[in-house]
Structures are given as C-alpha cells and as structure tokens.
C-alpha cells in the first residue's frame, strides 16, 4: 500500500497505442498515407470503424484484400511508421504517474499490443519504459492476436498471475474482447476511439475517460 492506496488487482496488462502511448494520430496518419499510396481511397472516419485488429486483418475487413495484397501494404506501413512516425511518440497524459503508482505498489505489469512484438518493444523503449514492464507481447508473439485470449494468458504466465486477480486496460473492442475471453477479473475501457456502450458491449467491466480515471479504478483509496 502507498499513500493510502491499495491495488485492486495483482497483475495489470496494458494495451499500448491509444492507451499509454499517444500514438493514435500517428498510427491513423501512417495508415491513411500508406493505404492511399497503394491506390485504396479511405478516409479517417472509415479507418476508425475498423481500428483495433492487426493491419492485415483490418485491410481484409475494410477492403476485402487477400493475404498477399495486405502483406505488401503492411510491410510498407511498418517501414513508414518506424522511419517517420514512431520517433514522434509521446506518453499520454497521466501515463507516467499511473505507472509510477503501480510500480511503487509492486504490481507486475505487461504490455499486450496488436503491433508486432519488435515494434511494441521499440515504442516502449522510445518512451523510456523498458524497465517498467516484465514482458511485451505482440500480435506475432502468441498463437493469435487480441481479441483471442492467448496473448493475455501468455503475458499472465510470465507475470505469474491468475485471471481471477488480473485486469486488462485498453481502448478498443480487441482489448475488451481479449480481457473477457481470458476471464480477467477486470476489463477497463478508455473512452475515446470507442464510446462507453460499445466498450461494454465487447467486454468492459469498467470505463474511464482518461488515465487519471483508470488509476482510480486500479486502486482502493
């Protein structure tokens, strides 16, 4: 317990983009640039309807592109993002203080992202957070990406935690579904890309407007 606060969960797993890292405008901008460069006219409103799964899945759901077509666009996206967009990454407001509080309370932490693992690790390293997380799980780490429970359960095994005392924090239906499918005690949705009703429909047990609100949900005061 620190400063009168007791953590409500024994393990916390975070999504990365749009949850801890202020990357939503970067990801959307790079996706739009790349997809349109390959001759597929999409706009931000259309893209936002499909955001969440890995980009190849998004391209199939949104445009009906097959694996080969999606792979070409995905590899171009990865190159553009790493070269131009990733260096602009900044933490979301409240992220540092939230991670500080969890670290001080000795709560083990992990990141589970639908980025590739190497891209997730580079983002975490860029933010100076490599020592904060016991593991970084990407879309290519476990058997299936979110909303499949595999990446969360893999992370939880490394944290030596149990679903009955774990919480997932994210901002899309992929995060909510993964937490629900893994049987986590808590699934916290951050309102923004998706509204409260949508997040709860896909598995959120709680919602918050921002990371300050998330911190309130993670601690008993």
Q: Which residues are catalytic?
A: 15
Instruction: Centre a 10 Å sphere on the Cβ of residue 217 and count the other Cβ atoms it contains.
Output: 16
Of 42, 70, 69, the residue nearest 56 (C-alpha)? 70
Neighbour count for residue 121 (Cβ, 10 Å):
18
Instruction: Dig out the tokens for 151 from the structure.
Output: 């990446």
Q: Is 32 left (phi over 0), alpha (psi -120 to 50) or beta?
A: alpha
* Separation in Å, CA 120 to CA 19, 22, 136, 189: 13, 13, 7, 20
Q: How far is CA 211 from CA 27, 96, 107, 192, 199, in A?
A: 20, 10, 17, 12, 16
CA proximity to 199, closest of 139, 161, 153, 147 = 147
- The answer to whether 187 and 166 are in contact (CB under 8 A) is no
CA R_g for the chain? 17
């Amino acid at each position: 317990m620190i400063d009168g606060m007791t953590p409500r969960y024994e393990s916390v797993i975070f999504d990365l983009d749009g949850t801890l890292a202020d990357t939503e405008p970067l990801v959307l901008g790079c996706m739009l640039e790349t997809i349109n460069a390959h001759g597929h006219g999409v706009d931000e409103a259309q893209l936002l309807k499909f955001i969440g799964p890995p980009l190849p899945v998004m391209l199939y759901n949104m445009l009906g592109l097959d694996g080969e077509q999606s792979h070409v666009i995905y590899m171009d996206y990865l190159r553009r993002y790493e070269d131009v967009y990733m260096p602009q990454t900044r933490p979301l407001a409240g992220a540092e203080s939230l991670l500080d509080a969890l670290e001080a309370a000795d709560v083990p932490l992990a990141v589970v992202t639908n980025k590739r693992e190497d891209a997730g690790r580079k983002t975490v390293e860029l933010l100076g957070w490599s020592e904060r997380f016991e593991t970084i799980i990407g879309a290519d780490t476990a058997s299936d990406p979110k909303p499949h429970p595999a990446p969360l359960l893999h992370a939880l095994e490394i944290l030596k935690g149990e679903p009955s005392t774990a919480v997932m924090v994210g901002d899309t239906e992929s995060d909510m579904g993964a937490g629900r499918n893994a049987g986590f005690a808590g699934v916290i949705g951050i309102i923004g890309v998706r509204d409260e009703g949508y997040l709860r429909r896909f598995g959120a047990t709680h919602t918050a407007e921002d990371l300050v609100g998330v911190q309130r949900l993670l601690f008993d005061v």
